[in-house]
Structure formats: C-alpha cells, structure tokens
Chains A and B, each alone.
Chain A
Amino acid sequence: MSALSDPAKSTATRRSEPSALSQAASAIGFFTLLIAIWEYGSFARWWNPVLIPAPSDIAKFILKTLGNGELPSACWVTIKRLLYGYLIGVALGIPLGLLTARFKFANNTIGVTALGLQTLPSVCWVPLALLWFGQTEKAMLFIVVMGTLWAVLLATDHGIRQIPPIYRRAAATMGSSGFHLLWRVLLPASLPQLVSGTKQGWAFAWRSLMAAEIYVTVLTGFGLGHLLHYGRELHAMDQVAAVMLIILLIGFAADKALFSPWERFLRKRWGLTV
C-alpha cells in the first residue's frame, strides 16, 4: 500500500512529473496486487481454475517447459521465423518505398498495390500460401513478409515525400547528389516516419506469424503459435495462458531492443516525443 501512496507524496512536492522510481514502484505495486487477487480468486474458486488458470499454475508450466527445453526451442523457432521474414520485408519495403516516392510510374503501380494490400490482414494469405508452398517454412516466411512489406513500403514512401524540399536544396548546394544524397540526407530526413513504419511493420509481422503458426502446422519447427494451439486442443489453459504471456514478453522485449535506441535518437535530435 505504501507503494501506492508514494506517487501522491511526490506529486505534492513537484506536481509536474513524479520521479522514475515512484512511477516504477506504482507500476510494480499494481501488478503485484493484480496477481495476488488473481491467485487468491483461483484458490478461493471464485471462478473455475480450468477456465482461468492460477498464476502459480502458469509459472509451473513455464518452469517445466523451460526445464525440458520445450519452451526455449519453440521461442527460438518463432523468433527465427519472425526475424527472417521481418528482415526480408524491410529489405524489400524500404527500396520499393524509395521507388514509389521518386517515380510516378512506380507510385501508380507498386504504390497502389501496397495501399490495397496494406488493408488486407496478412492471415488472409494463409490459404494461398499453403497451396503455393505447402506446409513449409516458405509458407510461414511468405505470410510474415506480406505482413511487414506493405507497412514498411508505405512508411518509407510517406517519409520521403514529407521531407522539406529545402533539405534537398541545401544538400545540393553543398555538393551532395545521387547515393550520397539518398544515404546522408533523404533516409535520415525520413527517419521519424521510417521508425514508426518499421515499428508498425514489426507489429504486423508478429501478429501474422502468430496467426500462421496457429493455423498451419509445419513439421520443420514447432513454434509458440503451435504450442498455443495444442494447449487449446488439450484444454490445457495453463499452457495457453503461459504461451500468451511469453508471446507478450517477447513482443515487448523486441520492441524495446529494436526500436528504443532509434526513438531515443529521435527524441534527442529532433526533440520529438515518440
């Protein structure tokens, strides 16, 4: 309870911004309380623990599968798929976005395609992907790429278009052109859009991979989605909830690891709050 009263005290002295420590304390306090109520509710049978597994059961499942290597290997399979698909999506999306921003023809063709496919949830590609590639890693990869590519492409295109023309002119008078202009001016100038676009692409990739893993069983690798799927089949809700938690944690950690440095840079240089 003292954790909850701390922020109140500090806001009294300095209204604008409570210290990081008291903010962390209030967050930790909140989640501890939540888990405690949850655990007690399961224990006191406020609800059926088969439907809502207790935190302790979830923890037990995680420890067990960590011990026998099942969970780490599933994580690794999923992360590998995600990274490959995502990197391919970004590696295709950025150059294509540059093309659509630069050339009318590319914009009228590729740009329009991207705009259309961007609205299509990438899980809709699952039936076709299965038909084309069978139950293979290629099908998985394809679905993740489809989830990433269009968001990154459109963000790049948008980022390049919003660059104030004066940057290009200033760079030109200093002798910058061609690849130097692209690499040293156009790409950094569109960094705010690129970061938010690749971040969105990451979120889409993550979602599409989970959907794909739940729908498609691939014999070459047993990912988190499959683990979740089999939890459902076995009515093992502790497994389902544990996998959900792991998925959430990986997504959170990846977000921090991949995008926080860029966002810090944007805040520092642009003074943006992102």
Chain B
Amino acid sequence: MMSLQDELQNEPPAKLTVDHVTKIYRGHRQTVHALEDVSLHVNEGEFVCLLGPSGCGKSTLLNLIAGLEDPDSGSLSADGELVTGPGRQRMVMFQEHALFPWLDVTDNVLFGLNLKPQLSDEDRRGVARAFIEIVGLTQFANASIHELSGGMKQRVALARALAPNPQVLLMDEPFAALDAMTREQLYDDLQQIQQKRRKTIIFVTHNVREAVCLGDRVMLFTPRPGKIRGEFKVDLPRPRDINDVEVAQLASAITAELKNLLQSTPS
C-alpha cells in the first residue's frame, strides 16, 4: 500500500523513459558511438527539445524512441511499456516531409488514420478534413504533393502525424529546410496545437533559438560519443515568438554553455 505521503511526493509517471541507452554503429571503416549512456525522462504534455551540433546522436535517440532502431544496451519505454518497434502512439515527423507522392493531400493525411481500427470511413474523412483545416490547407485538400511549396509540404506532414491522435510527437528538425517566415508561422502553429491538444513532443534541432522558443526543457547534446551534458528549463510564457528578447537572452546563455561543453569535449 502506498501512503498518502508517497502519493503526494510521487512525480507523475514519465510518458517516455530512456534508461541508460547506448547505440553503436559499426561500419566497415570505423565504429561510431552515436549514443553513450543516455537517460531521459519526459512527462506527459511536455515539450522537450534535443539540442546539439550535427552528428551528436540526437536524431539517433529520436529514432530509438520511435522504435525504428534498437539500442545496443539500455532500454526505452513509453507509458511504462518497453519500446520494441514503431507504435501508433508515437508519430514521427522527419526533416524531409516523407509524404507519399502517389497520394493527394487528403489521402496522405488519411494514411495513418486508415490503419486505426474502430473508426468509420466517414469519421476518418472528417478527422482528415479537420486537420487539413488546422494546418490551413483546406484549399489544397485534393492537390498533388509535387504541387505544394516546401512549407505546405511540412504542414501536410504535420497534419498526417497529428491526425491519428498520437500521444507523442517526435520531430526531427522538421522545419530546417524552410525559409524563416514560413518557419516562424509554423512555430506559432505548433505551440498552439501542443497546448490545445496536450501532446508530448520531442523536437530535435541544432538551432538554439528554435529550441528555446519551443521547448519547456532543452537538453544539450555533445558528440563523439553522443551524450546529454546539460539541461535548461524554459519558463517563459507562451506563445513565444522566436524574436522575443527573453528567448534571445536565454538562447545566448545556452549557446555559451554549449560552446563551453564542446571545447571541453576531446575530439
């Protein structure tokens, strides 16, 4: 039996747990320690940014959480259950939009929905329509993917990832290839969606300001071997704008810390 004291002191159960995970890629020429002894707890509804230079293993960690790859040691769990493969509760948004060119916008958004049982076709269409509207592409519902601009493609990818109503959204530098104006619009959209729908989001980026603008917490990664070396809580009110002074101030503090860490890392 749990006492009242325990109950009150207990933190809410972690949505995602990464427990002492190591991942090594053995190539023909060299062995890369992509991740070494990485642990991370993410609470429900939390927006966590994984920040670090390229090649520091942050994308690898995201793939492991997604269940697309297996760790060499350690374990990952979602909702207390061991991650053994991809799961519909954890949707991924990639840096490339990864939309299917043989489907139009609506059918792309429907792809994940169609794999969800206990929904009628009519419901699925309705949900798809709603998410296409949320990302502002109602006019393009029947367009082919190649007809869309880069920003519109990422919006469709966002709608596709959100439509099956996953609890966790894993985002791997989804806006890196977009122009600044489109990106800022998407920062707004993403914050709104996250707050309204209480999603747990893990967001990989190498852009410090982006991390501060979006995250409740920013985890600092350093490469070779990939490790979490620091953590910043971001207690700024939402919605945040990437051009806010507070965002810029915190970002420069984090940048300084990251530089420090990188210099102290033997390369």
Interface residue ranges, A against B (CB under 8 Å): 164, 166-167, 169-176, 180, 184-185, 188-189, 191, 268-271
Say if the beta carbon of B187 comes within 8 Å of chain A. Answer: no
User: Known contacts A268-B144, A269-B146: does B68 contact A172 (CB below 8 Å)?
Assistant: yes
Cα-based distance from A170 to B171 in the complex (angstroms): 12
Find out whether the CB atom of B100 lies under 8 angstroms from the CB atom of A167. Answer: yes
Extra contacts, 15 of them, besides A173-B86, A270-B102 (Cβ < 8 A), are: A164-B98, A169-B68, A169-B92, A170-B100, A172-B86, A173-B90, A173-B92, A175-B164, A176-B115, A188-B100, A189-B100, A191-B102, A268-B144, A269-B146, A270-B146
Is B164 touching A174 in the complex (CB atoms < 8 A)? yes
> Does B7 have its Cβ within 8 Å of any Cβ on chain A?
no
Q: Are A169 and B115 in contact (CB under 8 A)?
A: no
Nearest Cβ on chain A to B64's Cβ, whole angstroms: 13
* Residue B251 is within 8 A (CB to CB) of chain A in the complex: no
Contact A175 B102 (CB under 8 A): no
Counting contact residues on chain B (CB < 8 A from A), the size range is 20 to 34
| Pairwise interchain contact B98-A174, C-beta atoms closer than 8 A | no
Any A CB within 8 A of the CB of B140: no
Interface residues of B in 165-191 (CB under 8 A from A): none
Using Cβ atoms and an 8 Å threshold, which residues of chain B touch A185?
100
Query: Total number of A-B contacts with CB less than 8 angstroms?
Result: 66
Q: Which residues of A contact B100 (CB under 8 A)?
A: 167, 170, 185, 188-189
Determine if B101 is an interface residue (Cβ-Cβ < 8 Å): yes
10 nearest CB pairs, A to B? A271-B146, A174-B112, A170-B98, A188-B102, A175-B115, A173-B92, A172-B86, A166-B98, A175-B88, A173-B86
Is the beta-carbon distance between A170 and B92 smaller than 8 angstroms?
A: yes
Whole-angstrom CA separation of A170 from B115 in the bound complex = 13
Q: A175: which B residues are within 8 A, CB to CB?
A: 86-88, 112, 115-116, 164
User: Is B91's CB within 8 Å of the partner chain A?
Assistant: yes
Q: Which of B58-73 contact A (CB under 8 A)?
A: 66-68
Partner of B96, one of A166, A189, A269: A166
Counting CB contacts under 8 A, is B104 at the interface?
A: yes
Q: Kindly list chain B residues whose C-beta atoms are within 8 Å of the C-beta of A164.
A: 96, 98
> Contacts of A270 on B, CB cut-off 8 Å?
101-102, 144, 146
Q: Give the contacting residue for A173; candidates B68, B96, B103, B104; CB below 8 A.
A: B68
| B84-120 to A contact mask, C-beta < 8 Å, 1/0 | 0111101110101010111110000001100110000
Q: Is the Cβ of B144 less than 8 Å from the Cβ of A269?
A: yes
* Docked-complex contact A174 and B111, CB < 8 angstroms: yes
B172 to chain A, nearest CB (A): 10
A180: chain B residues within 8 A (beta carbon):
115
